[in-house]
Structure 1
Amino acid sequence: MNQQSQKIKNPETQVPKTPQMNDRDFVNDMLTTEKYMTDAYSTALNEASNQAIYQDVASIFRETQDCQRNLYNLMFKNGWYSLEAADQNKIQQAHQQFTGYTSQFPIH
C-alpha cells in the first residue's frame, strides 16, 4: 500500500527572498552551529580524563543542547522546519527489530 507521507508543519513565516541572509538563514546557521558544537562537546565528554573538566564540559554541553533545542523550536514554530508523520506499521516493525536485538546483548 502506497501511503502519502503527512507533513507536520506550522504556517511558514515569510522572509525576503534576496541574496542577503534573512531571519530564516540566520536561525538555520545558528542551529547548524549548535549541532556541530554539541557533537564536539560529546566527543570531549567521551575523552575527558579529569572529573572536574568532565563536569564543566557536561554543563556547557547541556547549555548548548538547550540552545540547539530552542533554535529548533523557533524554526518549527515559524514553519521553517517540518516533520514527517511516521507510519504506525513502520514504527511497529522497527520496535520488533530492535527488541530482537536485545537477545544479542551479553548478560551481566
Structure 2
Amino acid sequence: MDDKCIMENLLNTTKGACDLYLHGTLESPTMNVHQAFDNALNDCLCMESDIYKKMSAKGWYTTEQAEQQKISKVKNQFAGM
C-alpha cells in the first residue's frame, strides 16, 4: 500500500467519522451530549481539512474549475424556489 492509498483511506475514514459526529450532534438529547458531539465534529472537520490540503499539495486530490455557464444554470434553476 503506497502513501497515496493510505491518505485516501485516512480521508475516507475521517469523512465517515464526520458524518457520524454530525448525526450525533443533530440527535443529541441533552446539551452536554450535543456539545461533546459538536466538539468532536469540529475537530474531525479540521483533521479532514488537513488531510485534504496535504493530498492536494502532492497532487493526489485534484479539482477542476466549474464552468460559469453551468454555475449560472444551476443558480437559475434554484432561484425560483
Structure 1 residue runs of 5 or longer lacking an equivalent are 1-20, 102-108
SS of match in other structure, 2:80: helix
Alignment of 1:86-101 (within 5 A): 86-101=66-81
CA distance in 1, matches of 2:55, 2:80: 36
TM-score (norm 1): 0.72
Structure 2 residue runs of 5 or longer lacking an equivalent are none
- Counterpart of 1:62 (choices 20, 42, 63) is 42
CA distance in 1, matches of 2:59, 2:68: 24
TM-score (norm 2): 0.94
Misfit runs of 4+, over 6 Å: none
Verify: 1:82 aligned to 2:33, yes or no.
no
Rg larger in 1 or in 2?
Answer: 1
Coordinate RMSD, CA, aligned: 0.8
Deviation by residue 1:23-53 (Cα, 9 ceiling, x = unmatched): 1111111000000000111111111011011
Query: Across the two proteins, how many residue pairs are aligned to each other?
Result: 81
Larger helix percent: 2
Give identity over the alignment, percent. Answer: 27
- Structure with the bigger RCO (C-alpha within 8 Å, sep 6+) is 1
